[in-house]
Each structure stands twice: as structure tokens, then as C-alpha cells.
Amino acid sequence: MNVSDFMKYMKPGVRGHLIGIGGVSMSALGDLLFREGLDITGSDSNESETVISLRSRGIKVTIGHFAENVSGAQFVVRTAAVHDDNPEIVAARAAGIPVFERTQAWGAIMLAYKNAICISGTHGKTTTTSMITHILMAAQKDPTVMIGGTLPLLKSGYRVGEGDTIVMESCEYYNSFLSFTPTVAVILNVDEDHLDFFKDIEDIKDSFTKFAMNVPEGGWVIANADDANAMDCVSRVTGRKILTFAIDKDADVKAVNVNIAKTSRFDILFHGELYGHFALNVTGRHNVYDATAAIAASIVSGISAEKTAEGLKNFFGAGRRVEYKGKCGGAEVYDDYAHHPNELRATLSAVKEMGFKRIICAFQPHTYSRTKALFNDFVSALMLPDKVFLAEIYAAREKNTIGISSADIAAKIDGAEFCESFEKLEQRLREEAREGDIILTVGAGDIYKVGEAIIEK
């Protein structure tokens, strides 16, 4: 099954079943297909607000995975977390019902849009996608949007618009983004990650190069000139227009006069000429990079500098990206999704610009394989805060066959503490909190619950 095969099923009245429909991307997919007139059902492991919302719109959702759920379906879509031994997959294949991956369905949907902006990279995808969404909304493009996190503007991670533009966060894991069909492909950066799937950095770069080549001839590939791996990827791309962005090196779109404090201000040069003055209500050099990429995408999409500046000025951050949660013992509590050492370093560097007396970081590594592969880089990044607490590794899709623990990281950092439970971590953070401190809970797992537990209601 592939993207073109899925196109045959995108007709009113066709019955489709989505396994894992409660997820951010799958719920958006179900909603969009339902609005297009398809008869959509779904299943998920747990009740959730998302499931309740889908039901309120007329989509039947079953809790639990049972063979009978696919009865009558003409196609099935699954997430990467749904494996071949799932009862619904087994039943679908036994009945000859085609099974598609989530990304294949989205790739097919993109073909219906004149403009498809896909944002890729090891870090910064959610923020950049969110910034571009703000710009498109300011320009009244009425976009369809798919983000890997919650954007306050949308009160969701997605929206279904009536315009001719779709913007999608595009992840390289399992080569997922190779099913996408962008007219504008953005490559923010390319680092070692997901080494439980990719062999090495060369394997990762090959994947990003293929992603860029999915752009039709005459389409745009936007790449970070300050990132050697990203530039290596685009050096192999032929027949597509390349637009570079940067802060340090010469580039087609270059941020200059960068002033970073609690907010960020900078100018943009386009082909060496002043393009505009821009301001962000978020801090950090990494956010200026993401904004510069968003500006580059806006330029090739024909959006004016004025509307671009308006959209960026109204961006106050995406959910779980240095997100303010409340106070604890006089300290301000923030949460961030960083789960790669470079993301962690960027977040901590940005927080240093915010003027707190002390940075207290509670970090939860994400997956055993990533923790082992990037162990020394995690240790290095966690040298930046004034005080470090480590929660145990969040397993996600893995089992600990490696025999690694967050305690191993803590042992390498002076003064770091390993907390074997969230209850212990919450206790220590309350004890440590002082006026003028920032407490930052960091990780892609459920560490955010600790921050929510310690804030004073």
C-alpha cells in the first residue's frame, strides 16, 4: 500500500477505520476525512478528551482493540505504535482490507493542496510549524495544520481549514516523512537521533535527502546554512530550488542584529537587502533560528514581511516549549519537551537569558536506546544548570534490555540527584525552591506531571 493507493479511497461514503484515533495526528486525520464525507470509525486504548470530542462530531470510537471493529471497513489506517499482531490488523488482513500507515494517508491528503509546507529536522519542528501557522493565520490563508504539540492559538494540535495551504510537522523516525509530498520542505537541522532505527548519521542524512527530493521539480527546499549536516543533505538535491537561512554564515535569508533577552528582536536580510524588523515574545537563539526558517517559508509562499512580522509577534510559544506553569515556594515553574542533548542545551541556554538567580532542572531521559547512544552528550548538557535532578528513564516503546538508568547520568554530575519516584522528586523540588529560582521540568515523557503537582494552586 502507498500514497497513490490511498487516494482511491478518498471519496464520500467510503468507510474507513483508524486504529489509535485518540492520538494528535490520527484524531486530526479522522476529523478531516469525516469532514470530506467519509464514514469514519476508530479505536483507541483509552478514553480521552480527544475521543469524547470525536464522538461529539459523529465519529464512532471504540475503546479497546477487537477484530470486529474493522467489520465493514473498506480501508484501515494505523499509527506506528500499532503492530502487526494487533487484533484489528490481523482481522483486516484476513478479510483483505488494505492497511495504510498514518503518514501515507497524510501524504495523499497533501496532494489536494496547492501549497504543502513540511517542517523537518531533529529539533525545532513543533515551534517552527507553530510559528508558520501564526503567520498563515495572520495572512488569512485559512490553512490546514498538523502540529506535534498543542498550540494555544488553535487550542489544539491541528485545524482543518478551507484554504489551499497545508502545513505539517514532519518526523524522520521510521522514515515517516518519506510518505509526504511537500511543495516546500524545510530542513532545520540534522543530528544523530533515533538510533534504534537509523544505523548512523549517514543513514539519517540519506533519509533527509530523500525527503527533500519528494518536493516536485521547481518546488522549494529550505535549509539551515549553519548546520553542516543539513547542507550536506541539500548538496545532493537536484532539480529543486534551494533557499538557505542562517544566523552565523552567509545565507539567502539571514538574521542579523540579534538581541536576545526575555524576548527576542532581530532583522532579516533577504539576498543581502533589509527585508524587515522582527520581534518574538519568546527567548533563545534556537527560537530565532526557528523564526528565520519560518520567515524563509513565508517568503517562498508569497506572504508579505508585514504579515509575517504580525504572525511572529503574536506567537507566545507552543505547548511544552519553555511553558510557564506556576509557582512553587517563590520559584517559577516551567516545562519543556526537550529530549535530545542539543535540544536540552538550547533550552537551558535560553533560560539563562531570562535572568533567574538559579536554574533547577528536573530531567527525564526518553528511551533507553537514546540515553545510551547519547549518554556523554546528556552529561555535558546537564552541566549547565545550577542544580540537577534526574527522574528514571521514560521507556516509551522500549524495554530496558540495556541495563541503563538515569542514576548513571546523575553519578557523572557533581551535586546531581537521582530520584527513583516522582513523589521523591516532587518532595526535593519543594524543599529546594527559593524566590528567584526557575524550576524547569524537561523531557518528552510524563515529567510535566511533576511540575503540575508542585505548583501552588
Place of cell 513523589: 423
Q: What pairing do the DSSP bridges indicate for beta strands 273-280 and 75-78?
A: unpaired
| Cell numbers linked to 143 | 490553512
61 close to 44: Cβ distance less than 8 angstroms = yes
| DSSP reduced 3-state for 189 | coil
User: Residue 287 phi/psi, 5° resolution?
Assistant: -70, -30
| DSSP reduced 3-state for 342 | helix
| Cell numbers linked to 138 | 495572520
| Cell numbers linked to 180 | 509526504
For residues 352 and 372, give the distance between their C-alpha atoms in angstroms, rounded to a whole number: 27
Neighbouring CB atoms inside 10 A of 273's CB total 7
Neighbouring CB atoms inside 10 A of 9's CB total 18
| Cell numbers linked to 22 | 485518540
For residues 359 and 362, give the distance between their C-alpha atoms in angstroms, rounded to a whole number: 10
Position 53, amino acid = S
19 close to 65: Cβ distance less than 8 angstroms = yes
Strands of 75-78's sheet, edge to edge?
60-63, 39-44, 15-19, 75-78, 99-101
Neighbouring CB atoms inside 10 A of 272's CB total 9
Place of cell 508569497: 302
Element (H, E) at 44: strand 39-44
- Active site amino acids: 125-126, 169
Position 213, amino acid = M
Place of cell 528565520: 292
